Amino acid sequence: MSKIFMFDALRAATDEEMAKDPTVCVIGEDVGHYGGSYKVTKDLHSKYGDLRVLDTPIAENSFTGMAIGAAITGLRPIVEGMNMSFLLLAFNQISNNAGMLRYTSGGNFTLPLVIRGPGGVGRQLGAEHSQRLEAYFQAIPGLKIVACSTPYNAKGLLKSAIRDNNPVVFFEHVLLYNLQEEIPQEEYFLPLNKVEFVRKGKDITILTYSRMRHHVIQALPALLKEGYDPEVIDLISLKPLDIDSISISVKKTHKVLIVEECMKTAGIGAELIAQINEYLFDELDAPVVRLSSQDIPTPYNGSLEQATVIQPSQIVDSVKSIITSVKAIIT
């Protein structure tokens, strides 16, 4: 085992896959000579050269389109969005091309494409650099969506994503790149369509992903001290949702809290709640509660920015409130 930063884990995954398969390449702004704005492609350019670690102009629509073309003609490109927010400019490419070309070609084209980059609310990056696009990509058929949250799952998931023959949108988070964790030295892969059980428990199922996983973990000591026993699940796969694993948990706890960083309206929580209610209607003792970011553009002001995302104290309050309300109904 060795201790590693998240950005390094992602770099190691990319490096290992590029070493094994000459068709794997990276395309993005400042990925080459500069080494990546978050150092995820550090030193790869000197190792693999200009064409395999390709610096592009600031033209997301164009280089995403280029990567899609490369993917259908035999390469395995990894597109880096310097910030996921910028990929809105490539939305048509991702939705109408990447999502559809396998279908429209009757299966003749496969698209082994990874689109990765940092999203989420950072530290005063402003509205256009703090987007959470998972809610929008969720509505696009033909894409897989994954959100990593630790160095361990980042490496395993990115390797699987690169080896997958479908377009995978791989969400990282601006504030998680400096997380450190011990990870195995030997090669490992993680499945793209399964949740990660962070903590087993029996009182309530907390569903979360990305940075909010860490806010939930920060809320745990206060909850454990008061005798609550939450089960914490990191969704990992945002499309398709691993409803089978979630069902196992809900059948045990009968209460669900969703803690997400995307905005409330039409977010990941909305789809999750609709599915949980549809398949697990009789298992629920209380309405599924979703704690989401406010439905507003992210403020630049630091205190306001903090107030738009869910903080650990809100998670503690919500768990207590749900469990207390159910106890009141039952007793």
Partner 1 sequence: MTLATVARSVAARAGNVWALPTLPLLGGGAATAVWGRRRAALQTVPAVNTLSSPSAALSETKRPAHDTADTFDALPPSVTLPLSTGPLSVGTAATGGTQQMNLFTAVNDALRIALETDESAVVFGEDVAFGGVFRCTQHLRDAFGPDRVFNTPLCEQGIAGFGIGLAASGVTAVAEIQFADYSLPAYDQLANEAAKFRYRSGGAYSAGLTVRMPCGAVGHGGLYHSQSPEALFCATPGLKVVMPRDPVRAKGLLLASIRDANPVIFMEPKALYRASVAPTPVEDYELPLGVAETVVPGRDVTLVGWGAQVHVLVAAAARAAAEDDISAEVLDLQTLCPWDVDAVVASVKRTGRLVVSHEAPLSGGLGGEVAATVAADAFLSLEAPVKRVCGWDTPFPLAHEKYYVPNVERCLEAIKDVVAF
Catalytically active residues, by annotation: 60, 129
Residue keyed to tokens 């768990």: 319
| Cβ–Cβ < 8 Å for 105, 63 | no
- SS3 of the chain: CEEEEHHHHHHHHHHHHHHHCCCEEEEECCCCCCCCCCCCCCCHHHHHCCCCEEECCCCHHHHHHHHHHHHHCCCEEEEECCCHHHHHHHHHHHHHHHCCHHHHCCCCCCCCCEEEEEECCCCCCCHHHCCCCHHHHCCCCCCEEEECCCHHHHHHHHHHHHHCCCCEEEEEECCCCCCEEEECCCCCCCCCCCCEEEECCCCEEEEECCHHHHHHHHHHHHHHHCCCCEEEEECCEEECCCHHHHHHHHHHHCCEEEEEEEECCCCHHHHHHHHHHHHCHHHCCCCCEEEEECCCCCCCCHHHHHHHCCCHHHHHHHHHHHHHHHHHHHC
Q: Which is nearer to partner 1, 136 or 189 (CB)?
A: 136
Q: Which is nearer to partner 1, 40 or 71 (CB)?
A: 71
Binding site residues, partner 1, CB under 8 A = 61, 85, 88-89, 91-92, 95-96, 99-100, 103-104, 126-128, 131, 135-142, 239-240, 263, 265-267, 269-275, 277-279, 281, 284, 286-290, 295-297, 300
State the distance between the two ends of the chain, measured CA to CA, in whole angstroms: 49
Amino acid letter for position 86? F
Task: Tell me the C-alpha distance between 240 and 160, whole Å.
Answer: 15
* Annotated binding-site residue numbers for thiamine diphosphate: 60
Minimum Å distance from CB 146 to partner 1?
15
Minimum Å distance from CB 48 to partner 1?
31
Please report, to the nearest 10 degrees, the dihedral formed by the alpha carbons of residues 135, 140, 141, 146 taken in order.
-40
Q: Which is nearer to partner 1, 141 or 227 (CB)?
A: 141
Q: Which is nearer to partner 1, 98 or 154 (CB)?
A: 98
Q: Which is nearer to partner 1, 184 or 240 (CB)?
A: 240
* Annotated binding-site residue numbers for K(+): 113, 161-162, 164, 166
Q: Which is nearer to partner 1, 150 or 292 (CB)?
A: 292
| Cβ–Cβ < 8 Å for 15, 44 | yes
Minimum Å distance from CB 274 to partner 1?
4
Minimum Å distance from CB 291 to partner 1?
12
* Annotated binding-site residue numbers: 60, 113, 161-162, 164, 166
